[in-house]
């Protein structure tokens, strides 16, 4: 690159951010020349002449860049370079030498220098070299910060370090800073309400109210009143005025969980509210205005609901501004163990148990189970384990039968209602073949556990009649009693 090209490059580049520069140069006249080269740049420069002075300066002040002459009165500059690079948050180093050679350059770069300059050099060359070194250091620091953020094991109530959750954490942080409506999706129990609470806590509305409504838990004929409120006499039983969630959330966040359950007629009124910020209470003609930030959630595919005609398309596009998908627990790897350990500590304190952790076989069972109910199912499983057992660590046999069945771990007799282990010895056992009646028992008990004790429902999933299951259960209970 010619001096003219370098000067043009400097002129076209944006002005560089300030950076503290340490100049280690034993020739004062050259040091003054370099200062003059950089007089128009935003880089404060401190000049020292020896290795000893450089060590003292580095110990007392933080620098972004060191310009280092290799030939110094009290030693070799490469030794100082190695000491600098061994420091935490080491500054970038540019080596300056009049004894240029390939070997010198290679040694300097291997020791950690980002670039080198051969004396003599122009002002443009010096400015470009420093600017590039500082920019490279800035980018390196940003990458390190992102990597550190990507290793968070918890975030605003969430527990887990899986890559899928790191993406969720970043999206929540980005969404919280805006006023845009957030639409959270994911299976039941994945933490959609926790996501909404995190967005509120990190937003400028954190001092305002957070109001949550589960649209699936409120009767349809009461939902409009629940959201917008009503006036006295609006309907039978309306004996007094009542403010709704919209007014309660004024200045804060309104979280509409399971929004796809809303009646189509009410969806139209909600659309107007989202568009204008205004609404009318049930039975009133007075228009009210509030300042609300919307966060919505559903365990369905909202676009499929739109295509099926169950959710208004215009409302979908009004609400589906910032989508955040919460991954199922089965896709989060070792997060399941970390979450289980948190629940174990919590429930052990509450129940006065001595549990401190999980044995390897229990951890394997937790990882193997697909957790169709996600974190909510895991919470229930750990609570059941703590209530029914005690000890220093949880063994696999202590986990609920539904977890063990999915994990292919033999459950304890107390949880299997007479299920028997395969016979030991014999040709079948030696070959690893399990008796058919044992496999049948495991499948039936697993289905019943999965259906939370509902035998007819389990029978429907297994493709047999409920009477067949009842008959087999009675027979196995009789065998156990014998």
The pLDDT tens digits of the residues spanning 236-254 come to: 888 999 999 999 999 999 9
- In the sheet that holds 322-325, the strands lie side by side as 210-214, 253-257, 293-298, 182-185, 322-325
3-class SS of residue 372? coil
**Sign of the dihedral defined by the CA atoms of residues 383, 388, 392, 396, in that order:** negative
DSSP 208: S
Backbone angles phi, psi at 167, to 5 degrees: -65, -40
CB-CB contact of 400 with 379 (8 Å): no
Q: How far apart are CA 407 and CA 152, in angstroms?
A: 28
How confident is residue 100, by pLDDT bands cut at 50, 70 and 90?
Answer: low
Looking at residue 5, what is its pLDDT? 44
CB atoms closer than 10 angstroms to residue 338: 16
The upper half-sphere exposure of residue 194, i.e. CA atoms within 13 Å in the direction of its Cβ, equals: 18
Domains and CATH numbers, the chain: 3-147 (3.40.50.2300), 154-327 (3.40.50.300), 329-415 (1.10.8.60), 429-482 (1.10.10.60)
Q: Which residue has the higher pLDDT, 476 or 408?
A: 476
State how beta strands 158-159 and 182-185 pair: unpaired
Most confident stretch, 57-71, 80-94, 203-217: 203-217
pLDDT at residue 146 tops 70: no
Question: With a threshold of 0.95, does the pTM exceed it?
Answer: no
**In the numeric block, which tokens belong to residue 419?**
């299920």
Is residue 349 over pLDDT 60?
Answer: yes
Neighbour count for residue 457 (Cβ, 10 Å): 15
What's the count of helices (H) and strands (E) in the chain, helices before strands? 21, 20
CA–CA dist 450, 447 (Å, integer): 5
Three-state SS letters, 381-421: HHHHHHHHCCCCEECHHHCCHHHHHHHCCCCCHHHCCCCCC
**pLDDT of 13 higher than 50:** no
pLDDT digits (tens, 9 = 90+) for 389-434: 999 999 999 999 989 876 554 444 434 443 344 444 444 444 456 6
Record the tokens describing residue 459, joined without a space: 């029978």
> DSSP string spanning 107-175?
HHHHTT-SEEEESS--HHHHHHHHHHHHHHHHHHHHHHHHHHHTT-SEETTEE---HHHHHHHHHHHHH
Q: What is the mean pLDDT of the chain?
A: 85
Overall average pLDDT of the 105-123 stretch: 85
Predicted pLDDT at 99? 65
d(C-alpha 129, C-alpha 124), whole Å:
9
Nearest to 298 by CA among 185, 181, 189: 185
| pLDDT > 70 fraction of the chain, expressed in percent and rounded | 86
The beta-strand segments (E) located in 268-318 are: 278-280, 287-289, 293-298
């Amino acid at each position: 690159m010619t001096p003219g090209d370098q000067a043009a490059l400097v002129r076209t580049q944006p002005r560089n951010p300030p950076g503290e520069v340490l100049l280690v140069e034993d020739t004062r006249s050259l040091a003054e020349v370099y200062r003059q080269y950089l007089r128009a740049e935003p880089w404060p420069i401190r000049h020292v002449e020896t290795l000893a002075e450089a060590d003292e300066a580095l110990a007392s002040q933080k620098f972004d860049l060191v310009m280092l002459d290799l030939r110094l009165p009290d030693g070799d500059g490469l030794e100082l370079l190695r000491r600098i690079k061994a420091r935490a948050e080491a500054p970038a180093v540019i080596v300056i030498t009049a004894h240029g050679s390939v070997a010198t350059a290679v040694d300097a770069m291997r020791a950690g220098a980002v670039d080198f300059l051969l004396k003599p050099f122009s002002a443009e060359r010096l400015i470009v070299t420093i600017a590039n070194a500082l920019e490279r250091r800035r980018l390196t620091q940003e990458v390190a910060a992102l990597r550190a953020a990507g290793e968070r094991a918890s975030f605003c109530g969430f527990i887990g370090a899986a890559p899928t959750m790191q993406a969720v954490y970043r999206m929540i942080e980005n969404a919280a800073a805006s006023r845009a409506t957030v639409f959270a999706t994911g299976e039941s129990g994945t933490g959609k309400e926790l996501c909404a609470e995190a967005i509120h806590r990190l937003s400028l509305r954190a001092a305002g109210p957070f109001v949550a409504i589960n649209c699936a838990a409120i009767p349809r004929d009461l939902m409009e009143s629940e959201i917008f409120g009503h006036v006295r006499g609006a309907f039978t039983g309306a004996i007094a005025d009542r403010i709704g969630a919209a007014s309660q959330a004024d200045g804060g966040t309104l979280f509409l969980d399971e929004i796809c359950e809303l009646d189509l007629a009410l969806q139209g009124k909600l659309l107007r509210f989202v568009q204008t910020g205004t609404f009318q209470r049930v039975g009133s003609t007075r228009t009210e205005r509030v300042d609300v930030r919307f966060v919505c959630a559903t365990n369905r595919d909202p676009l499929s609901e739109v295509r099926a005609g169950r959710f208004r398309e215009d409302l979908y596009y009004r609400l589906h501004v910032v989508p955040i998908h919460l991954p199922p627990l089965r896709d989060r790897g070792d997060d399941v163990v970390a979450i289980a350990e948190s629940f174990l500590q919590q429930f052990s304190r509450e129940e006065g148990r001595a549990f401190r952790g999980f044995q390897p076989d229990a951890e394997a069972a937790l990882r193997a189970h697909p957790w169709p109910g996600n974190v909510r199912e895991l919470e229930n499983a750990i609570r059941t384990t703590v209530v029914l057992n005690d000890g220093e660590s949880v063994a696999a046999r202590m986990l609920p039968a539904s977890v063990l069945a999915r994990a292919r771990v033999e459950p304890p007799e107390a949880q299997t209602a007479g299920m028997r282990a395969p016979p030991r010895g014999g040709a079948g056992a030696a070959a690893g073949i399990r008796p058919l009646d044992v496999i049948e028992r495991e499948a039936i008990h697993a289905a019943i556990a999965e259906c939370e004790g509902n035998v007819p429902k389990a029978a429907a999933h297994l493709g047999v009649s409920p009477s067949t299951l009842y008959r087999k259960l009675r027979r196995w209970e009789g065998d156990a009693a014998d």
